[in-house]
């Protein structure tokens, strides 16, 4: 096992990040010790990596530890990317201090946008969560991973596209996914396994290009792509106006007489450019 200390730019509040991650029953989060064990897939190697906070919001510092010392630098780079350690949050908070979201950004100051730990699984998770309450989505996702994934030392590793591609629609229906979602997930897994869709290539594309590429796949709509852009690719300026949670959060925060429509929410999202993703993140957090 190797260990490496990392100091990142302030503000960065790991406690806020972990509180949000702890909502997911699949993740190995220890709130008391301020640590999480991350299930990384490095090619075909499953690597559990421990990330532990030893600093504060205003002096953030971490210890990263794991196996495979020959891949230490690669692991550090991946962890840094997933936890967005090199995205300065100061300018983002300064931007929102001049908006109606200022109270939220004061309450959750330093909360980063943490990405889903695997790009393929992010897409699958977005498909599972379509049109579902958050808790129901988490429950179905947990059932999916515990059926088709693998547990090692108390950490759940997500199934790979090749493994899901080999499954039948009925296999996925058996974990209580709807017939349509079972088809969408198996089909997109087969496309990825066959090399017809290369998710890593999407990292180099503009948001609009990613939207065009993914919505061409059966079952993937704008909401799914927006969430994939946000939590898979870490894009800073994405705001899903049709998201029921965001509509409810805006209704509560602004004490509106009724829930805003998607078009009304899209207009609000325009005001929060170029950091609309953080507006969405903090609004979601306000109702979780």
Alpha-carbon distance of 146 to 158, in angstroms, equals: 9
Phi, psi of 143 (to 5 degrees): -65, -40
| Cis peptide preceding 28, ω within 30 of 0 | no
Mapping DSSP to helix (H, G, I), strand (E, B) and coil, where does residue 275 land? Answer: coil
Helices (H) and strands (E) in the chain, counts: 15, 7
Tokens for 199, please give them.
């998710």
Q: Closest by alpha carbon to 14, among 33, 32, 34?
A: 34
Cβ-defined contacts of 65-74 (< 8 Å, 24+): 65/1, 65/2, 65/3, 65/4, 66/1, 66/2, 67/1, 67/2, 68/42, 69/2, 71/42, 71/45, 71/47, 72/2, 72/4, 74/42
Is 243 among the residues known to form the active site?
yes
In angstroms, the CA 188 to CA 100 distance is 40
Q: Name the active-site residue from 44, 171, 187, 243.
A: 243
Instruction: Give the residue numbers annotated as catalytic, written as ranges.
Output: 243
């Amino acid at each position: 096992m190797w260990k490496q200390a990392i100091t990142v730019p302030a503000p960065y509040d790991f406690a806020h990040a972990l509180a949000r991650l702890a909502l997911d029953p699949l993740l190995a989060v220890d709130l008391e010790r301020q640590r999480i064990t991350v299930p990384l897939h490095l090619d075909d190697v499953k690597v559990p990596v421990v990330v532990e906070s030893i600093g504060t919001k205003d002096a953030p510092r971490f210890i990263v530890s794991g196996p495979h010392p020959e891949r230490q630098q690669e692991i550090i780079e991946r962890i840094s990317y997933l936890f967005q350690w090199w995205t300065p949050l100061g300018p983002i908070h300064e931007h929102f201090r001049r908006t109606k979201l200022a109270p939220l950004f004061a309450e959750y100051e330093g909360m980063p946008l943490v990405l889903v730990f695997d790009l393929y699984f992010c897409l699958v998770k977005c498909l599972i969560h379509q049109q579902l309450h958050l808790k129901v989505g988490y429950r179905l996702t947990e059932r999916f991973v515990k059926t088709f994934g693998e547990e090692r030392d108390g950490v759940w590793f997500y199934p790979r596209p090749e493994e899901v591609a080999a499954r039948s629609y009925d296999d996925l229906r058996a974990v209580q996914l709807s017939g349509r979602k079972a088809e969408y997930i198996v089909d997109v897994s087969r496309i990825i396994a066959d090399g017809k869709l290369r998710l890593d290539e999407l990292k180099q594309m503009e948001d609009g290009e990613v939207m065009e590429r993914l919505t061409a796949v059966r079952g993937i709509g704008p909401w799914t792509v927006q969430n994939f852009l946000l939590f898979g690719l870490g894009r800073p300026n994405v705001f899903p106006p049709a998201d029921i949670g965001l509509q409810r959060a805006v209704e509560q925060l602004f004490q509106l007489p009724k829930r805003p429509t998607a078009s009304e929410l899209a207009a609000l999202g325009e005001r929060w450019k170029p950091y609309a993703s953080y507006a969405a993140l903090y609004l979601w957090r306000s109702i979780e």
